[in-house]
């Protein structure tokens, strides 16, 4: 496609180590979400279960990404040369195709809105997320300065903006019914979402705006990996916090109910 990519050992290792860190983050959070699940009231366990599935999917894909990266380069005279075997970018997109709709679903589920609202939000957000990822992939494979990359980047941004609209405008209207503690965490969560999801399109345009191909590749890979740590395990921790507060509310409510009952002689 284009000229052979050459990375300095420092550049190669930065990407290698960021993949390694991401694997550790996914593995540790997988264990943590499994262990902590029973502390959550059964009514709110589904959101935590989805977090667990998301980091498991990511753990698998990062293991594949890690070996694809190692296989793609040969160490020749002090430089890492991409010696013909292409690095497989597909793992990332297949991962996102599953995990992005799941992440959106867990956010909606933990809020416990009316059944019909939940259903409609999950379907609309899921379809938009799948469209965003599917449209991004052809652009990701295209050459850095090609019209294809720009075209698919723009097409993918349309469902992306729709998702942000639903989360910030539509969902905002239903937050009034949440408790003050939950509302505070949701505000933090939406900020995290905006900051991290915004990093993906930025990493995508790196090859188009950075002249040096090696630097652009490092920025893109490290950018995607760090964004994935924030968007999956860290996002999952916020969801867990909401589920735990709601579990406490549930426990308080059942204690109140019991106190209201007449004492049995």
CB of 200 to ligand RET, least distance (A): 3
CB of 5 to ligand RET, least distance (A): 20
Cβ closest to ligand RET, residue 19 vs residue 96 = 96
CB of 91 to ligand RET, least distance (A): 12
Q: Token digits for 115?
A: 């059944």
CB of 21 to ligand RET, least distance (A): 16
CB of 205 to ligand RET, least distance (A): 8
Q: Tell me which H or E stretch contains 82.
A: strand 79-82
* 3-state secondary structure at position 7: strand
Residue nearest to ligand RET (CB): 136
* 3-state secondary structure at position 30: helix
DSSP string for residues in 136-199:
HHHHHHS-TT-HHHHHHHHHHHHHHHHHHHIIIIIHHHHGGGS-HHHHHHHHHHHHHHHHHHTH
Rounded to an integer, what distance in angstroms lies between the CA atom of residue 65 and that of residue 70? Answer: 9
Residue 183 exposure: Cα atoms within 13 Å on the Cβ side: 9
| Binding residues for ligand RET (CB under 6 A) | 96, 99-100, 103, 132-133, 136, 153, 156-157, 160, 197, 200-201, 204, 228, 231-232
Cβ closest to ligand RET, residue 11 vs residue 156 = 156
């Amino acid at each position: 496609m284009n000229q052979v990519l050459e990375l300095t050992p420092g550049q190669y290792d930065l990407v290698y180590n960021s993949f390694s860190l991401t694997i550790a983050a996914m593995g540790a959070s997988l264990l943590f979400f499994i262990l902590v699940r029973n502390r959550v009231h059964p009514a709110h366990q589904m959101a935590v279960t989805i977090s667990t599935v998301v980091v498991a999917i990511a753990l698998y894909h990062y293991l594949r990404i890690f070996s694809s990266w190692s296989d793609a380069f040969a160490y020749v005279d002090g430089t890492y040369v991409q010696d013909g075997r292409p690095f497989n970018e597909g793992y990332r997109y297949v991962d996102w195709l599953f995990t992005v709709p799941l992440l959106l679903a867990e956010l909606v589920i933990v809020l416990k809105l009316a059944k019909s609202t939940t259903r409609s939000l999950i379907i609309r957000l899921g379809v938009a997320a799948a469209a965003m990822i599917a449209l991004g992939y052809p652009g990701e494979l295209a050459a850095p300065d090609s019209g294809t990359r720009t075209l698919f980047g723009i097409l993918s941004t349309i469902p992306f903006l729709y998702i942000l609209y639903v989360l910030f405008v539509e969902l905002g209207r239903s937050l009034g019914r949440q408790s003050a503690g939950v509302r505070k965490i949701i505000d933090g969560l939406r900020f995290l979402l905006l900051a991290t999801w915004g990093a993906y399109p930025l990493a995508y345009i790196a090859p188009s705006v950075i002249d040096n191909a090696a630097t652009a590749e490092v920025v893109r890979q490290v950018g995607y990996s760090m964004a994935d740590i924030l968007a999956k395990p860290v996002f999952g921790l916020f969801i867990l916090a909401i589920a735990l507060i709601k579990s406490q509310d549930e426990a308080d409510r059942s204690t109140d109910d019991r106190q209201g009952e007449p004492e049995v002689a």
